[in-house]
Amino acid sequence: MSVDTLHIKRHNHRVHPCDRTQKLDLLKYLITLHSDKEILVIATQDISTLDEQIDADNVSFVHDAVLLESPKVKCDMIISLDLAATPENYAKRLNQTNSLALLLADEKDQQSLYKVETFLKRTLTKEIIDAFEPQAHKADREASADLKERQEYNRKNQEERDEKRKKAWAKQKKESKYLGKDEDGKPIFSGKSGERNHRFDGTPRSDDEKKENPRFKKKSYDSEKKPWDKNNSNSDDWRNKATNKDEKKPQTSTRAPRVIKIPAKDKSSK
């Protein structure tokens, strides 16, 4: 069956997802909803027993084997209870109507829809009826709503954290100002500063003033000699200090030496 022979429009071809146990109730609902149309119900297996459960004069039941033998079955609307064995057979189902085609697809049928869409070269419109919503779709919808709620909660928390962080940075960046002196004559500043020793006017010390501190003074070495050079006088200072220290006298042990007695050989044994 070629897709070029199909005359049904895309918006008239819809898929109704549902659970397998809901198919019969959904079929009855659709038949009641379209009671003014001649309806053909199609499935892969023989479904003639459904005629006893559905009392409607405008409904006929047929399976794919009958369609292959009598290709001139026409109606206003077809309802497929499942997918055909091949995409070609499903296209033959669509060829039986020019107005409306519906597919009741459970989870297994939905996994094979891409084969039909590839063959028909079109996507199928899915429409969920509220009273027949699949359980899997409910779980996905609830999970999606929960995800959105958690994302909104995290976004608000992030905004609060950012606001606190901005306030903290603003406090840290606050400039320290010289306010005067206290009773002991020490300078008072409006905030903390990394410079501990300040002038009374609040300005930090210069590099030259910092170098006056003995901790910053470097030892003077001969430009031509290195501290580790043997002939360098500076390098010998620590050695002289080490030799001038009181030498420890070797400790003499007061313990008596250990005597090992060797038994004398018995002359009679010779």
Written in H, E and C, the secondary structure of 16-78 is EECCHHHHHHHHHHHHHHCCCCCEEEEECCCCCCHHHHCCCCCEEEEEHHHHHHCCCCCEEEE
* CA 75 to mean position of chain CA atoms: 51
Determine, yes or no, domain membership for 198.
no
Determine, yes or no, domain membership for 84.
yes
Is residue 123 domain-shared with residue 90, that is, in the same domain? yes
Q: Cα separations (Å) of 165 from 155, 160, 169, 190, 191?
A: 15, 9, 6, 22, 19
Is residue 82 domain-shared with residue 109, that is, in the same domain? yes
Determine, yes or no, domain membership for 195.
no
Domain stops at, among 112, 146, 166: 166
Instruction: Tell how strand 187-189 and strand 178-181 pair up.
Output: antiparallel
Name residues whose C-beta falls within 8 Å of residue 51's C-beta, 6 or more positions apart in sequence: 59, 61
203: its two tokens: 């300005």
pTM: 0.54
Q: Which domain holds residue 72?
A: 3-133
pLDDT score recorded for residue 231: 57
Beta carbons of 8 and 99 less than 8 angstroms apart:
yes
Domain count for the chain: 2
Burial of 79 (0-12, 13-18, 19+ CB in 10 A): buried
Is residue 158 domain-shared with residue 71, that is, in the same domain? no
Place of tokens 């039986």: 96
pLDDT score recorded for residue 186: 79
127: its two tokens: 């429409």
Is residue 126 domain-shared with residue 145, that is, in the same domain? no
Determine, yes or no, domain membership for 103.
yes
pLDDT score recorded for residue 26: 93
pLDDT score recorded for residue 257: 59
Is residue 36 domain-shared with residue 125, that is, in the same domain? yes
**Mean pLDDT by groups of 10 residues along the chain of 270 residues:** 73 91 92 91 88 85 82 81 91 86 92 91 90 84 85 89 84 69 78 50 68 60 56 54 53 58 56
* 208: helix, strand or coil: helix
